[in-house]
Amino acid sequence: MKAALTNKCIGFIGVGVMGSSIIKSLLTAALPANQICIADKSEERANQITTTYKVQKQSISQIGQNCEVIFLAVKPQDLGDVLVELSKSLKGETLLISIAAGKTTRFIEEKLSTNNPVVRVMPNTPAQIGKGVSAISGGTNAQSAHLELTKELFSASGVVVEVPEENQDAVTALSGSGPAYFFYFIESMIKSGVQLGLTNEIATQLAIGTITGSAAMLQESGLDAATLRKNVTSPNGTTAAALAVFADKDLEKIISDAMIAAKKRARELA
């Protein structure tokens, strides 16, 4: 971790899957556990995280008083109430980083009625293993230094890109929800492999190896996805037969419709 984070108190309000994943990544990147404070509406969950990561449990009010950076990692429907409580003790210079899907920086700023810098982030679950992607957008009062600090924090869990906030719902539909699309596809490949006569163990190994190898090839070859697909597809071969079924069922439209539905839901959550 860079000097900019030295002795800074980092607070987390909400320590579900994503909140705890970010905590784990920060600790892995050598942020001391005594710099992290957490609050969660579930006492059991808060106790679990403090036991696992040796971080400090505090109230929302205490986090507002003590922390220079606060992650808002609660469910979107809980964010309004959290902000009302947080506003009672929040210091004016504290950076707020929200990962609440669909909730805009304007929503947060209006709820707080302060001039605190706010940065909105859409991470995804591979952050748990340092392979995530996160898209960040600054609010009205967020300066370049706040964005750089946010990038530093999220770089511990993977790749970070900056996008205009109006693109955040599209990011949610692509990378935020994207891991679930791939997991669903792999589930289907494994089930089909078993139906074709493979054991579940062998089908699982083949499917996971195929998807991880293909992803690495896409990242490292310098070629785009369309070119790599064409390179695998011999005319009138087995791959061509499978892709013809995808085309006949209009898989591209199915994916597009699914992502449009995800984006729409993100807007509804706002």
Tell me which CATH homologous superfamily contains domain 178-269: ProC C-terminal domain-like (1.10.3730.10)
pLDDT score for 174: 97
Is residue 1's pLDDT more than 70? no
pLDDT score for 196: 98
Share above pLDDT 90 across residues of the chain, in percent, rounded to a whole number: 90
Task: Write down the residue that tokens 């059991």 correspond to.
Answer: 44
Q: With beta carbons less than 8 A apart as the criterion, state whether 144 and 117 touch.
A: no
Pick the CATH number of 3-165 from 3.40.50.720, 3.90.550.10, 3.30.2320.80, 3.50.50.60: 3.40.50.720
4 vs 147, residue with greater confidence = 147
In one-letter notation, the amino acid at residue 269 is L
155-185: pLDDT as tens digits: 989 999 999 999 999 999 999 999 999 999 9
251-265: pLDDT as tens digits: 999 999 999 999 999
Is residue 92's pLDDT more than 70? yes
pLDDT bracket for residue 128 (50, 70, 90): confident
Beta sheet of 158-162, edge-to-edge order:
56-57, 36-39, 10-13, 69-72, 95-98, 118-122, 132-138, 158-162
Q: What is the mean pLDDT of residues 138-146?
A: 96
**Count of alpha carbons within 13 angstroms of residue 91, beta-carbon side:** 14
- Domain spans of the chain? 3-165, 178-269
CA nearest neighbour of 26 among 73, 59, 91:
73
Is residue 235's pLDDT more than 60? yes
27-85: pLDDT as tens digits: 988 899 999 999 999 999 999 999 999 999 999 999 999 999 999 999 999 999 999 99
pLDDT score for 170: 95
